Amino acid sequence: MFFTTPADGTALAYEDYGTGAPLVFISGWALPTDMWECQVPFFLEQGYRCVLLDRRGHGRSDRPSSGYDTDTRADDLAALLEHLDLRDATLIAHSTGAAEAVRYLARHGADRVSRIALLGPAIPYLLQTEDNPIGIPAAMIDASTADLRADRAQWLADRAQGYFATHLGTRVSPAAIEAEVQRSMSCSPIAALEVQKAVARTDHRADVAALTVPTLLLHGLHDQSIPIEVSSHQAVRLYPAAVLKEYPTAGHGLYRSHADQVNADLLEFVKA
């Protein structure tokens, strides 16, 4: 199904299953809604309504030349919640989606949202600056972006094993890894570059510090994409009420490699 954003008329694709309390799934960078294939069937069986959004430039949504900044992406999320008139929703977001979730709350408030669960979240601030010395140096980010621009397929392939921490024996088949690479390749090249730039350089510290809803963070200790020291450890310092659960053998793709544990932790959270 599709709806049109009020700001610029972009058509965004979404899926809507079930009739229970709403769970809104927000995908990670470059990934379409299919990334949640280990979560959605489970939560439908538990009696929840599952709503999933393909962000602009991703999946089946329109591929405009602009609108990939964090504010616009957060407003797109707001437009979906308003389009479906969702209330008491739980936002479940991975990586880049977590940045959109906290910026949504900062810009639109928590009237429609009761809680958020963030997996390997790209918050609060990834860039190393004078007042954020633990961040990632700009030179490293720029080099990675240059490699992504030069050969996106190879960039993804080079990081696929580490994404799922296969060196630690995680049970992710070669076919599943290849499928995730191909899903990421389905993203618009412009969206892939522009969203990655925004994620690396957008400061969400004020957004995180201003949170008021129950917040769960799930993060792999071997996350090579969004290191836990830079992200979740910093987030709980800014918002001490957040609950952080660390996954000792997980990487960034814990929604697949540790799906059973992730689903159990999410279910416990949404039931609380």
Q: Which of these is catalytic: 252, 257, 258, 265?
A: 252
Q: Has 219 been annotated as catalytic?
A: no
Q: Has 223 been annotated as catalytic?
A: yes
How far are the Cα atoms of 11, 37, 126 from residue 64, in angstroms, in the given order? Answer: 9, 26, 26
Q: Has 61 been annotated as catalytic?
A: no
Distance, CA of 136 to CA of 197 (rounded, Å): 13
Count of Cβ atoms closer than 10 Å to residue 3 Cβ = 17
| Spatial contact of 100 and 67, defined as CB atoms under 8 Å apart | no
Q: Which of these is catalytic: 62, 76, 207, 223?
A: 223
Distance, CA of 231 to CA of 229 (rounded, Å): 6
| Spatial contact of 208 and 103, defined as CB atoms under 8 Å apart | no
The residues, any chain, with a CB within 8 Å of residue 21's CB and separated by 6 or more, are 48, 49, 88, 89, 90, 270
Residue 132, both tokens: 């954020």
Q: Which of these is catalytic: 27, 95, 232, 257?
A: 95
Kindly report whether the peptide bond that precedes residue 189 is cis, defined as omega within 30 degrees of 0.
no
| Residue positions annotated with a catalytic role | 95, 223, 252
